[in-house]
Amino acid sequence: MALLQGRWWLSLCLFAGAASAAERPQWLPFMGDEESQAHAIHLAVLKQRPDGLLESASRYPRTSGAGWSVEQSERGWYEYLERLIDCETGLYVDTALSLLDRDHHPVARRDTSRDDQLQQIALTQQDVRSHRWPGNSEIWIACAAARNPAIGNDARPMMIEDEGRYGYDYRAIGDAPPPDGDGLFARLRAQYDAELARYSVPSQAPAGETAAAFKGERWATVGNETEAWDLAGLRHRGAGIVEASQRVAYDPRRPPDVPEDADVRIDYKIDCRNGLIVPVTKAYYAPGSERLLQRISTPVFDTLDSLSRQSQWGDAWTSWLGPQRPGPAAMLCTAAAARCNGGKPQAPASLFEIDPEALPPVGGAPLLLAARARWLAHRDGFVPACPIGVL
């Protein structure tokens, strides 16, 4: 901690001496009006650590003299908070509070206690449900600025704020549509990946051993659906993409050279990070058999229209908590993840919390990393981490 404190202190001193000669802004205000320019992120100290955490700091107007001497309070013009951020989850802890004078010279500094950090990081079930990440906040702007220092304070995540889900740009794809369903899924996934890259470096779960052979009932339905999903045929090649097939009773667009009594299955791809589910192909089989007669792409424009309309109804999935309500994507992703977890099903998202009793007795990075590990363990319940159904 002493080494970290010394580096922060040196950074501030160097900044104070060189501010007038800086070639680019050292501060990024995160509140827009002129009177709020004191609220700013210190760009010069943003640093991605090897453990995946981001070192960050922000200045604020003075709010209290508590804990400072009279002389320190008289000299202090800004408060300056150092923090560590996990940009994948939006979790963070403040590590130190300083006073700066009008010219940003350091006046005094004190470390943040573990108890104070625990209040930031220990999330009850109610806190977990209200957490929105990514969201429009100072924390998100700091993460985005670490990835792109030229970012403006008007930058916003491409999320639907009140629901915590990503807002896909279906119109942009419709203006230059891909040729088939696989291409549509790839384009939508690329949009999401590009958004993640704006503010974080997602952690990659190590690939586990190939899942054991499927055991159980092959076909399953969701809710009141009558058309069943093939659980035995689930495939996961990696990156959280599950492939699954649904047996349907009727296809109004059956090709003329396919027998009327052919079995019809629609093949889907699901991005288990966010619940995106896209039909990519239709397959026709000889009645009552596994003999493939023909496979064609699903109609891209019809799928785009359906996805766009569904997006207006809200969503049952967030990248932070995963599936919130029953549905095909929830069933398929949790079933796939359970195959990688030795058959252990995911606990309901409503039970997820970051229990302070399960966190380490030290503060700072170990505390934040333990909280992130708790979230990663929760995510393992809906994002599979092993090959399934592939050689």
At residue 33, the pLDDT reads 54
At residue 222, the pLDDT reads 87
Label residue 343 left, alpha or beta by phi (over 0 means left) and psi (-120 to 50 means alpha): left
**Spacing of C-alpha 112 from chain mean position:** 27
- By the 8 A CB rule, do 173 and 153 touch? no
Label residue 67 left, alpha or beta by phi (over 0 means left) and psi (-120 to 50 means alpha): left
Q: Which amino acid is at 168?
A: Y
Distance CA 108, CA 75 (A): 10
Q: What is the pLDDT along the chain (391 residues), one digit of tens a residue?
A: 444 444 545 455 544 444 444 445 789 998 865 456 889 999 999 999 999 999 999 999 988 888 899 999 999 999 999 999 999 999 999 999 999 999 999 999 999 999 999 999 998 888 888 888 888 889 999 999 999 988 887 888 877 655 667 888 998 998 889 999 999 999 999 999 999 999 998 777 667 789 988 988 999 998 777 889 999 999 999 999 999 999 998 888 899 999 999 999 999 999 999 999 999 999 999 999 999 999 999 999 999 999 988 876 655 788 888 888 888 999 999 999 999 988 877 776 667 899 999 999 999 999 999 999 999 999 999 999 999 998 7
Tokens coding 390 = 């592939």
At residue 21, the pLDDT reads 41
- By the 8 A CB rule, do 259 and 287 touch? yes
User: What's the maximum distance between 2 C-alpha atoms anywhere in the chain?
Assistant: 89
* Residue in 198, 123, 211 with CA at minimum distance from that of residue 166: 198
Burial of 1 (0-12, 13-18, 19+ CB in 10 A): exposed
Distance CA 308, CA 171 (A): 9
* Residue in 104, 79, 107, 76 with CA at minimum distance from that of residue 94: 79
Distance CA 231, CA 331 (A): 10
At residue 321, the pLDDT reads 87
Distance CA 372, CA 91 (A): 8
Q: Give the start-end residues of each E strand in 193-303.
A: 219-220, 229-230, 235-238, 241-248, 263-271, 276-285, 292-297
